């Protein structure tokens, strides 16, 4: 058919999608539709709940070679995503931009989204037999969620969910912030970099693949007062695994890198040799706020100490922690404590893994300093690298036991290992970290900035 004389193909909606979905592979169902849509970069930064609703709302249309899929200046039905075949994008022959080169759309490419009106700006013509998923215009709101974790406006968001929210700037580029209502340190908290970088990586893979390992290196101390740009590099996309590298930047300088591997859930061999320590349940232990309040009123502490502590600004951490040992154990190269996210988290497994990644850096490297603590000693520590292996699904707003040990410290570096168990005694994660640990030097009035 001559392209200029052809007519736009009428909508074709088959009564069932079995034959069309055969293009996706064997054993297809709505889960496979979700997985396919999860390969589309535009949709990967959406909450998993939004993607599943889109999978239920999409329609299927088929076109013959030469059929117009969309005409310049005419309305389009919604967001088109190519399932199979090829289409060509071109301007009309009498358009001012007629010399603009044509280009070809392939599987996973999309069009019809992001225009200021319902009229399409270019011609889209099928080059071969073409099959498209179409998200009708009335479902366009699903493409504009409130956050990357939740499609709805929920006032009960956990502070951690807000800390781990990133602003998508374009495909594979995100912007994160250090929130003033969160805990503040001299530099950007290492757990924040890990959690936000993992969030960025997670929003570039399909929602059926979950992170199973990550390896991070801290390069330069970050500035709390500046946004952080996360650039994701797609190292590999396979049927079962995907790999991402993330660079965190401030002022154009890379301050942190992370490599994460993601896997689609599968059934395999299982065993667990690690045994959860016998510790009191969290309900029998005090949290940090209760410990602080007790110290402020305990007459065994000097009055001057209590007065200074009372005047010092106290910002509750977004993680609730309950220590299993008393202060008499603080010189041991080990630490056990229960923790959970404060508030209710959205039901997104990727978010829960980002939360525990954030929490994993709290008090972690400090355990390697425990055997060396003495009265009046001031120390300086900075995370150097950090690795996590996720063994099983995690629920970060339920209690988890963090078991930390430091087998070695040498050459100004402290090494720590960690394990996280749920209340059922299942080993959820294994971790390692090396950190710079030094006696603190006397600082001048204006320390030189790192950036």
| Residues belonging to the active site | 361, 383, 433
Angle (nearest 5°) at CA 188 between 329 and 156? 85
The 3-state DSSP class for residue 430 equals: strand
Tokens of 231: 């650039």
C-alpha Rg value of the chain to the nearest Å: 27
Tokens of 242: 């995907």
Under DSSP, the state recorded for 441 is P
Helix or strand (DSSP H, E) at 58: none
Q: Considering Cα of 344, then 345, then 346, then 349, what sign does the dihedral take? A: negative
Contact 153, 143 (CB under 8 A): no
Tokens of 69: 């899929």
Helices 190-202 and 349-359 cross at an angle (nearest 10°) of: 160
**CA separation for the pair 211, 49 (Å, rounded):** 18
Contact 191, 365 (CB under 8 A): no
Residue partners of 144: CB distance under 8 A and separation at least 6: none
């Amino acid at each position: 058919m001559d392209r200029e004389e052809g007519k736009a193909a009428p909508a074709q909606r088959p009564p069932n999608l079995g034959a069309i979905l055969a293009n996706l592979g064997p054993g297809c169902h709505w889960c496979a539709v979700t997985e396919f849509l999860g390969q589309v970069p535009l949709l990967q930064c959406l909450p998993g709940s939004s993607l599943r609703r889109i999978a239920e709302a999409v329609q299927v249309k088929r076109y013959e070679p030469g059929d117009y899929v969309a005409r310049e200046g005419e309305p389009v039905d919604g967001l088109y995503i190519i399932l199979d075949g090829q289409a060509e994008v071109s301007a009309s022959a009498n358009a001012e931009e007629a010399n603009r080169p044509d280009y070809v759309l392939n599987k996973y490419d999309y069009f019809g989204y992001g225009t200021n009106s319902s009229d399409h700006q270019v011609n889209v013509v099928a080059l071969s037999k073409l099959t498209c998923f179409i998200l009708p215009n009335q479902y366009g709101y699903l493409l504009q969620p409130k956050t990357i974790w939740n499609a709805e406006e929920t006032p009960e968001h956990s502070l951690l969910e807000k800390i781990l929210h990133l602003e998508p700037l374009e495909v594979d580029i995100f912007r994160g912030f250090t929130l003033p209502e969160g805990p503040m340190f001299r530099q950007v908290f290492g757990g924040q970099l890990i959690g936000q970088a993992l969030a960025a990586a997670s929003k570039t893979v399909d929602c059926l693949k979950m992170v199973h390992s990550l390896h991070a290196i801290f390069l330069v101390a970050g500035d709390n007062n500046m946004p952080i740009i996360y650039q994701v590099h797609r190292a590999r996309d396979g049927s079962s695994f995907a790999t991402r590298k993330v660079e965190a930047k401030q002022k154009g300088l890379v301050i942190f890198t992370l490599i994460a591997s993601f896997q689609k859930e599968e059934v395999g061999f299982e065993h667990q040799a690690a045994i959860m320590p016998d510790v009191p349940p969290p309900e029998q232990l005090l949290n940090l706020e209760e410990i602080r309040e007790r110290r402020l009123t305990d007459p065994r502490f000097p009055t001057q100490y209590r007065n200074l502590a009372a005047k010092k600004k106290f910002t509750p951490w977004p993680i609730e922690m309950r220590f299993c040992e008393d202060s008499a154990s603080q010189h041991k190269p080990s630490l056990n404590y229960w923790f959970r996210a404060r508030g209710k988290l959205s039901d997104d497994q990727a978010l829960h893994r980002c939360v525990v990644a954030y929490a994993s850096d709290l008090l972690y490297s400090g355990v390697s300093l425990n055997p060396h603590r003495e009265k009046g000693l001031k120390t300086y520590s900075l995370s150097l690298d950090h690795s996590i292996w996720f063994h099983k699904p995690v629920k970060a707003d339920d209690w988890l036991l963090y078991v930390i040990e430091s087998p070695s410290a040498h050459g100004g570096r402290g090494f720590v290992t960690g394990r996280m168990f749920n209340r059922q005694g299942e080993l959820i994660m294994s971790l390692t970290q090396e950190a710079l640990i030094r006696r603190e030097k006397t600082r001048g009035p204006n320390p030189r900035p790192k950036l």
